[in-house]
Amino acid sequence: MKYLIIICFIISIATCAMAGDLNSKSYEPSEANAYQGRLLYDSSEESYPIDKMMKLCDQYTGIDTAQIKCKEYGKGSLKVCDYKCSLHWSAIKKNTPRACCRGLVPECLACEEGISVEAWLDANPDYQTK
């Protein structure tokens, strides 16, 4: 019985460790995700995918090369690259106030949480009735 518990514990730890890798799906930049993207590539079969990232960011004024972060995916030669197009910064500025303030107005509360005012109002539908 002790061995069964130990085996279950080891399996649960392995499952939790792999759960973080399951979120490594590729997606393309768009206005909805603030012009961010993610690419998976096999470094043994292809080179660094900067050309793909540039092509996907072309319609969003190009890629912000300082905002590319790549990491290993699993134990093989797979890599995951998160990247942001140049319009990412204008999307952030458009959706959040210029400076955070202390107070109860939605702009201040949204800024303190680091989200857009619209997202804050969606998350707090009772605000108007207070």
Q: Where are the beta strands (DSSP E) in the chain?
A: 36-42, 69-72, 78-84
Tell me the whole-structure pTM to 2 decimals: 0.54
Q: What is the pLDDT of residue 90?
A: 74
Contact 82, 38 (CB under 8 A): yes
First-to-last alpha carbon distance for the chain, in angstroms, is 56
Cα 35 from Cα 58, distance rounded (Å): 11
Walk along the chain (130 residues) and give the pLDDT tens digit of each residue: 666 555 545 555 544 444 444 456 889 998 888 889 999 999 999 889 999 999 999 998 899 888 899 999 888 889 999 999 988 877 666 554 445 555 556 666 666 666 777 777 777 777 754 4
Q: What is the pLDDT of residue 31?
A: 86
Residue with tokens 């969003």: 60
Residue type, 87: L
